[in-house]
Structure 1
Amino acid sequence: MMIRRWAAAAAAILATVGFIGSAPLSWAAPNTPSSATVPVSVSELPEPPTAEEARAELDELTVAPEDDVPGYSRAKFPHWATQYGTCDTREVVLARDGEGVTQDGQCRASAGSWRSAYDGVVLDAASKIDIDHVVPLKEAWRSGASQWTTADRRAFANDLAHSQLIAVSARSNRTKSDRGPGAE
């Protein structure tokens, strides 16, 4: 059931952003380096779509075959960009997805707890948390990001506007690896 919810949410994201083979990034987070400089606060981050919204968005999804494009590297998707002050994307997601999160002077999560959406595990240290790209970077590459600019890939990898990033247990994220939303 957890996998189905994850797949539905990821597919809704694909539909929402017009992901398959698309560019430029009309969906870029409002605070990416190439966009406006107004910071995204934790209270402004979007909630995942409801199941009904996801189904409606899925109905509009254009499915195209993936290309097995050579040349993928995570380094081609600069991530954990500064969002505001000393807070990078990872720290913003940790603050958004955790309970009782406190941050030090460098914006690092120093205390809190997080429930991993993939396996339900509750973790008590940010070091045990991975920030997952619901649509993996490699999946994005195969689905058209290989043709994007580095700035567009940076915007995608740091997208706080479309529920693309979630805090999960490191174990569950590494088990998921670079498999896309359709993988079981």
Structure 2
Amino acid sequence: MSVSWAAYRRARRHARQAWALLGAAAAAVIAGSVWFFTAGQFAAVEPAVSGPAEVPVFDAGWMKPVTPPYPVPRGGAAAALEELDVKGRAAGSDYDRSAFGQAWQDADRNGCDTRNDILRRDLRDVGFSQGSRCKVASGSLHEPYVGLTVRFVRGADSSKEVQIDHVVALGDAWQKGAQQLTPLERQVLANDPLNLIAADGEANQEKSASDAATWLPKNKALRCHYVARQISVKAAYGLWVTQPEKDAMARVLASCPQQQTVTPG
């Protein structure tokens, strides 16, 4: 009888241990599920490389400033937005890129064309073509619009991987006041480093001539700077915004009320 009782107690102890293990495993599963459905699933899709929150404008070491019709207002971007005129779009059927002059001129007269100036400004580990101190042949870009690292290699096809985006698209500018600018002022607008960012080719093509109401960078960290830069360009060249565009800009700036305008310096 005593042997049977001892066996019974051992069996009960083993059963309690088994149930304890099962309980611990169940708790771990529940905790893992809670983590996944709260923070875990979002952490899993977080990009390995995040894009920058801003893009430089000017490097006084080798770039020279250009002069827009008006100075960029200093201070809060939201306040500058309120100073822009609000109107509808003008007709765009007569838009022609040539109205902004020949593409990629040496507008600042530093000896290098604007495309190479912007590549040199925005790329890292820049390599130049043999015998040239201007022609960028290679480099890496911490791409601001989609948050990827892009390798630039000059070539008939590979150069398209990195394109120079007009922050305020020229087609958009044409419909919002640029028709009233002089040919020289439009040429400066098209080559102003304030209005130019090296970007992923596909993102640039996707944006096309969109304004902030219809396109914003996928990299949300850049959006405040991007919108402030558009406002700064429009203020400097006397361009207006549409009401939907202004509303979209205001929504972005509401998340960063301390955002300042972007100036060449």
Structural RMSD (CA): 2.7
Offset at residue 58 of structure 1 (A) = 1.7
**2:120 aligns to what?**
95
Question: What TM-score do the two structures reach when normalised by structure 1?
Answer: 0.66
Q: How does 1:124-163 map to 2 (within 5 A)?
A: 124-126=151-153, 127=159, 128-160=161-193, 163=194
Q: Which runs of 5+ in 2 are unaligned?
A: 1-53, 55-59, 67-71, 154-158, 216-265
Question: What TM-score do the two structures reach when normalised by structure 2?
Answer: 0.47
Greater fraction of residues in strand: 1
Q: Which structure has the larger Rg?
A: 2
Deviations along 1:35-68, one digit per CA (max 9) or x if unpaired, are: xxxx9835979xxx9xx83223223222122212
Deviations along 1:85-130, one digit per CA (max 9) or x if unpaired, are: 5411111111111112132306111221112211112111151211
**2:135 aligns to what?**
108
Higher relative contact order (CA 8 A, sep 6+): 1
Is the contact made by 1:115 and 1:168 (CA closer than 8 Å) also made in structure 2?
no
**In 1, Cα distance between the equivalents of 2:113 and 2:91?**
31
Q: Which runs of 5+ in 1 are unaligned?
A: 1-8, 10-38
Q: Is the aligned partner of 1:173 residue 2:204? A: yes
**1:36 aligns to what?**
none
What is the count of residue pairs matched by the alignment? 140
**In 1, Cα distance between the equivalents of 2:142 and 2:127?**
16
Any idea what SS the aligned residue of 2:213 has?
coil
Greater fraction of residues in helix: 2
Any idea what SS the aligned residue of 1:72 has?
coil
Is the contact made by 1:133 and 1:157 (CA closer than 8 Å) also made in structure 2?
yes
Any idea what SS the aligned residue of 2:76 has?
helix
Of 63, 81, 93, 2:105 maps to 81
Any idea what SS the aligned residue of 1:155 has?
helix
